[in-house]
Structure 1
Amino acid sequence: MKTFDYQRASSTQEAAAVAADAATKFIAGGTNLLDLMKLQVETPSRLVDITRLPLKSIEADGEGVRIGALVSNSELAADERIRRDYEVLSRSLLSGASGQLRNKATTGGNLLQRTRCGYFYETSARCNKREPGSGCDGRDGFNRILAILGTSDHCIATHPSDMAVAMRLLDAEVLTIKSNGSERTIPIAELHRMPGKTPEIETSLEPGELITGIRLPKPLAGRHLYRKVRDRASYAFALFSVAAVVRMEAGRMADVRLAFGGIGTVPWRSKGVEEVLIGEAPGEVVFARAADLLLKDAKGYGDNDFKIDLVRRTLPAVLADATRGDA
């Protein structure tokens, strides 16, 4: 790990102003950043500690909920309101990492965790996300865990967060403060960027912009599910995950919300897939149609070709569970 300066922020305004320098990073739980610093994938010249800022509450916000950026994943998953009204979010959080990591990881940090692509972590490999213009060894290398949707010639790295998938389904809003002191609200759909020609630019955040919280809209009625397919039962990233909220009326799917992890370069959602299902009676044919539409632009790169078949099997199974009886 390279040497760095350390500063503890006393306010959100101070933290954002200090971090306007691109070589400065915020640190809270540090569950991803510290690993990257040990490998010298991240080499910040200064860390700004935000752990003492007043961003640790979960509060009612109109018909929804506001979650402070420093609320731990464990606290958020266990909160009574989240478990009752946003069960899909609680389930996604409990599917991620380990108990020890969830105790340290923060809500804001979880949204910003970086890919687990092995070529990103291996500094001797070519990786456009780590070193722009160097190439992408993942495309022709061992790419079993990598993305089949939203990829480009420059990057096929998968976004790793379980929580962000549920947040995408819920249409969460990300609350921030910029280095100049102004505040803004970013729809979760606009936070993460697909790689295109600039995979090193992963979010729409500006230098020094600090996430202060996440706002959830009013709860969604229906059955909440989070299904995660992975190589082992815990402490493993998704090969494919499905966040689902389905509301049934008179034997038909009156409302359907779906988001996906493990297959996209960003937390993935397709309104078209939802629209195919809304108003239909549950059944193998309509479920298969939804899976085919989700995979319309999917592309495998060899080792990860199996994900296409995995989606075709898993999505119908999740939808069958979500529509079994009235939710």
Structure 2
Amino acid sequence: MRPFTYERATDPGAAATAVLDGAGTMFLAGGTNLVDLMKLGVVEPSTLVDITRLPYDRIEHRADGGVLIGAMVRNSDLSGDRGIRERFPALSQAVLAGASGQLRSMATTGGNLLQRTRCPYFQDVTKPCNKREPGTGCSAIGGDHRDLGVIGTSVACVATNPSDMAVAMAALDAVVHIRLAGGDERAVPLSRFYLLPGDTPDRETVLAPGDLITGIELPPPPDGAAMLYRKVRDRWSYAFAVVSVAAVVATEADGSLREIRLALGGVAPVPWRAREAEGMLTGHRPTRTLLLAAADAEFVVARPLPRNEFKIGLAGDLIAASVRDLTEPAGSTGNGFTREERG
């Protein structure tokens, strides 16, 4: 690891100034991803500006049922917060699925949203990677791409976003609050916060140098909504998603879907909001046949590679199972699922 300078920010303005004034200067929060990348040589900052003492470490539950989560809130505090567990259980489930207890006690909410891909070629500085060094090529396309993206990718990059938390927040219509380098405030829906790779995969978010996430706002969930986060992984714990889904559903008395939100992880360079599938399902009873057809429609624009095409079918099955569990009372065969469809 290269030598670097460490300093602690006293206020947001000083933190932004330090990053803008120093070439190679980066913010440091929990460091659970950044320090790993420094050890690998993927990033080599000259100065780290510790922002953990900035006043963004609170969870503010609001009277309307929404919540503002400070960017410095630790993942362990977020997953264990009573209000989050009661009103936004999918978020708590996602955080608990995302890492070990030790990491959750260090990792921050803002840092979780900004963690970099776990694509092995991004992490290996001996291999070409457009995300790490623009213009060098994408080693993954012709290499080991089994765990990489099938939708939203490009000829320049097929890496996936690794955050479980971000997938849940995408389904919860989260809004990211940002303090711009110049001091102004900006609120960006999570759906527009992340950038698809296109031909500039090195640009992952709308953040400019010196911009700082201050919090993430979740609006009140729909009346009567049920939600969950479900993750398929290669081992039970401490593994990134092969495919994951965050589902939020609200039903009418007849079992039809008044509102449905679906976000997918493990399949795209960003937390993928499945809006095509949502549009097909809204207003209808969620039979397995319809759910799988909606998933197929979502992936019409997919660009799978030979070893990860299986993710498309897996995502469909995961969507169907998750919506079934949210809409079907325990022990029931209702909501349009036949015995054969239940499997």
In the superposition, the TM-score normalised over structure 1's length comes to 0.97
**What one-letter code is carried by the residue in structure 2 that aligns with 1:29?**
G
Instruction: Give 2:300's match in structure 1, choosing from 296, 316, 325.
Output: 296
1:22–1:207 contact (8 Å) kept in structure 2 = no
Q: Which has the higher contact order (CA 8 A, sep 6+)?
A: 1
Cα deviation 1:256-286 (Å, max 9, x = unaligned): 1111100011000022211211111121221
Secondary structure of 1:235's counterpart equals coil
Secondary structure of 1:67's counterpart equals strand
Secondary structure of 1:233's counterpart equals coil
Moved more, 165-174 or 306-315: 306-315
- 1:258 aligns to what? 262
Instruction: Give 1:315's match in structure 2, choosing from 297, 319, 322.
Output: 319
Q: List runs of 5+ in structure 2 lacking aligned partners.
A: 336-343
CA distance in 1, matches of 2:192, 2:151: 17
Shift of 1:255: 1.2
Moved more, 84-93 or 12-21: 12-21
CA distance in 1, matches of 2:228, 2:42: 35
How many residues align structurally?
Answer: 327
Instruction: Give 1:111's match in structure 2, choosing from 110, 113, 116.
Output: 113
- 1:51 aligns to what? 52
Shift of 1:89: 0.7
- 2:214 aligns to what? 212
Matched, 1:245 2:248: yes
- 2:42 aligns to what? 41
Instruction: Give 2:140's match in structure 1, choosing from 118, 138, 141.
Output: 138
CA distance in 2, matches of 1:320, 1:215: 28
Moved more, 230-239 or 57-66: 57-66
1:246–1:257 contact (8 Å) kept in structure 2 = yes
CA distance in 2, matches of 1:270, 1:117: 23
Secondary structure of 2:32's counterpart equals coil
- 1:16 aligns to what? 16
Shift of 1:22: 5.4
Matched, 1:230 2:233: yes
Instruction: Give 1:286's match in structure 2, choosing from 270, 278, 290.
Output: 290
CA distance in 2, matches of 1:177, 1:291: 37
Cα deviation 1:1-51 (Å, max 9, x = unaligned): 111111100111111121124521111110000000011101111100011
Moved more, 212-221 or 159-168: 212-221
CA distance in 1, matches of 2:326, 2:101: 27
Q: What percent of counterpart residues are identical? A: 52
In the superposition, the TM-score normalised over structure 2's length comes to 0.92
CA distance in 2, matches of 1:218, 1:188: 15
Runs of 4+ displaced beyond 4 Å: none
- 1:28 aligns to what? 29
Please show how residues 157-236 of structure 1 align to structure 2 within 5 Å: 157-220=159-222, 221-236=224-239
**What one-letter code is carried by the residue in structure 1 that aligns with 2:137?**
G
- The alpha-carbon distance between structure 1 residues 313 and 22, as it changes in their structure 2 partners (threshold 3 A), is farther
